[in-house]
A and B are shown apart, each in its own frame.
Chain A
């Protein structure tokens, strides 16, 4: 059994001379293998670079846009808050000036004066 296996292996691994067209077939296969993938790879690489550049540009444009929008929005919120504060400050000031005015009128009416309103 073992001898049989050994002989089979020896037969199989016995050096054999290549066929006559082996060189030609090998060269042809090598040439085809070299040229085709390079072309495919080149096309793939350029397409990837294009998509990567486009994605990068889109990301940068989006980031700048978002940042600008955020700055505009922030400025608008600050402006509206400043406006609210100005209006409130002037309202408080007027309220107190009115208080002074009423007191002056009160004093004038007590002393018989007639301040213009």
Chain B
């Protein structure tokens, strides 16, 4: 009986790191070395909190783009971007993303949007991690015939600020409200509240 009890404790303690990992908005992205080798262009960005605060000091508030960026990165603890562009279609396999997708099935993550564009032949998935009704993590997986992009934003994400950011950088405004409903229906999972 005592053995059973201690075994249960050991088991519970062993599960603790797994549980904390499960609720982590920071995705563990693979190296994608093989993909990087095949890509004609690749973007690898890993910005942690100190780097973000350093960048914020160098952003020019008189520049509208940079002012919006400064506002958007406030409260963020990290931004990770992996993007690979290829010269031909079908260089990467959907299974290359299995490791990332499996992390997004962990508790706390919910798929906000999943779109499949017939025109662009692109598939975009937007995942949100919420904690106490606050967005603490965002993940975007964009699979296009010649491009694969993964974005992971960590920290207290203000979707309003992100929304404000859209329309800048030459990108039209994204109507999150309009985007949510059909995609959430497609996803078959509850959208993350924000």
Contacts and interface: CB of A to CB of B under 8 A. Distances in A.
B65 interface: yes
Contact of B72 (A90, A107, A108): A90
Contacts of B116: 103
A94 interface: yes
Interface residues of A, number: 35
Interface in A66-87: 75-76, 78-80, 82-83, 85-87
B88 interface: no
B178 A108 contact: yes
A106 to B, nearest CB: 6
Interface in B149-194: 149, 151, 153, 162, 165-166, 168-169, 171-175, 177-179, 182-183
Nearest to A116: B175
Q: How large is the interface on B (under 10, 10 to 19, 20 to 34, 35 or more residues)?
A: 35 or more
A79 B47 CA distance: 12
A111 B115 CA distance: 14
A86 B51 CA distance: 9
Interface of A: 75-76, 78-80, 82-83, 85-104, 106-108, 111, 113, 115-117
Interface of B: 43, 45, 47, 51-52, 54-55, 57-59, 65-66, 69, 72-73, 79, 81, 83, 113, 115-120, 122, 124, 126, 140, 142, 144, 149, 151, 153, 162, 165-166, 168-169, 171-175, 177-179, 182-183
Report, nearest first, the 6 A-B pairs whose CB atoms are least far apart: A103-B115, A115-B178, A82-B55, A103-B117, A79-B58, A100-B124
